[in-house]
Structure formats: structure tokens, C-alpha cells
Amino acid sequence: MKLKTTQEGVGLIEVMVALLLLAVAVLGFSAMQMTAIKATDESLMRTRSLTIMRGGAEAIRANPTGSNAFRTALNGDSSSVTIDGNAITKDSCVQNTNAAPAAAASCTINQLATRDGLLIKSYGAANDINMGMIPNGCPGTSDRRQCFVASWGNTTVQLDDTAPNACANADGTYKNGAECFIMEAY
């Protein structure tokens, strides 16, 4: 007598195992794609931050006497600062002409620097970037170097060992997971 072997349903099990393997592979590719998108977003924020900070560095180079007023405006909480009895905003001290905007003749050096600081802060806010300058310069550098900090997400514009969301430690080393950029400017 001959035994009859049946293989009914084995083909279905093979197909289900193949689909399971395919699903795991697709999930892996999806996770890799999400990581690539996150890295692209981080790169975009760093590029925007660097562009804004370069503009700030150029403003300080153009008006080194007003660097303290620039820092005060950039680090302030308000969109206007009162100097010499005048409320200065990011739109102050500019005289629009037909050719191009030019500095108004009636503004002082500190008023111009304040306007520049508020303008840089405004550019950052428009790009979801918090801008600031460290009051005593970058750690480990000479006094004439300015220290710009740009942060986004939950990271704050701070160099602090104890603050959990600070950009970096007090010595200037980045914290793990911080979403920020630090730049020295002369």
C-alpha cells in the first residue's frame, strides 16, 4: 500500500512568509527614509542659521562701535528698543529712496546697531530660529570675538551646564541632541 502525501496549503504558507519578509523590508526602507528626511531638515536649519548669523557678523563689522547695542537688541524679548527717547524697531533708521533703502541721517550709531539686531532677530523668527549672542563672547576666545547662537526646536540659546535644553555646555561643547549652531564673529 502506498501512502499518499498531501501538500495542500503549503504554497499558501510560503506566500505568507514571503509577504512577511517583504513587509519587514519595506518597514526598514521607510525608517531609513524618515532618517534621511530628518537629516535634510537639520541641514536646512543649519544653512538658514549660518546665513542669518553671517548677516549679523557683517552688521557688527560695519558698525563695531554699536556691537553692545546690537547684542542687547538681539538678546531682548521685545520687537522694539528705546534709545535716546526714540523707539527703534527693525524698520527704523531706514530712508526709502527710489534707488535703494539708505540709512536715515538722524539715527545714531547705537540706533542703527539696535535696528540691525532687531532685523536679524526678525529674520530668525521668520525661519523658526531663535537668535542670540553670548554676553561675554565665546568661551576660550579673546574679548573681541562675538559668539552668535542660533537654535531651533526645543533647544534654547544658552551655554549652560545645568539647563537641559541649552545649546551647549558653559565651555562651548555641544550637548547631545541639541538643535543649534554656534558661530564666532569678529
| Residue 39 lies inside a defined structural domain of this protein | no
Handedness of CA 33, 38, 44, 47 (dihedral sign): negative
Given this model, what pLDDT does residue 110 score? Answer: 87
132 in a structural domain: yes
Q: Quick check: is 15 in a domain? A: no
**Ranges of H-type helices in 63-160:** 67-75, 109-126
CA 130-134-135 angle, 5° bins = 130
Distances in Å between the Cα of 162 and the Cα atoms of 146, 152, 175 are: 23, 19, 11
pLDDT at res. 3: 61
Task: Look at residue 127 and tell me if it is in a domain.
Answer: yes
First to last CA, the chain: 97
The answer to whether residue 103 is domain-embedded is yes
User: How many Cα neighbours within 13 Å face the side chain of 132?
Assistant: 19
> Structural domain tally of the chain?
1
Counting every residue, how long is the chain?
186
Instruction: Kindly state whether residue 5 falls inside one of the protein's structural domains.
Output: no
What pLDDT is recorded for position 11? 82
Among 141, 127, 136, which residue's Cα sits nearest to residue 75? 136
CA 49 – CA 43 distance, rounded (Å): 10
pLDDT of residue 102: 61
Could you tell me the residue range of the domain that residue 83 belongs to? 44-185
Residue from 85, 142, 137, 89 nearest 114 by CA: 89
d(CA 14, CA 93): 76
Inside any domain, residue 160:
yes
CA distance 137 to 130: 18
Beta-carbon contacts of 37 under 8 Å, excluding residues fewer than 6 positions away, are none
pLDDT of residue 87: 79
What is the reported pTM?
A: 0.75
List per-residue pLDDT tens for the chain, 186 residues long: 566 666 676 788 889 999 999 999 999 999 999 999 988 998 999 999 999 999 999 999 998 898 889 999 999 888 878 777 777 888 887 766 565 566 666 788 888 899 999 999 999 999 999 999 988 888 888 766 788 999 999 999 999 999 999 999 999 899 999 999 999 887
Q: Does the residue 9 lie in any domain? A: no
Report the 10 Å Cβ neighbour count for 117.
Answer: 28
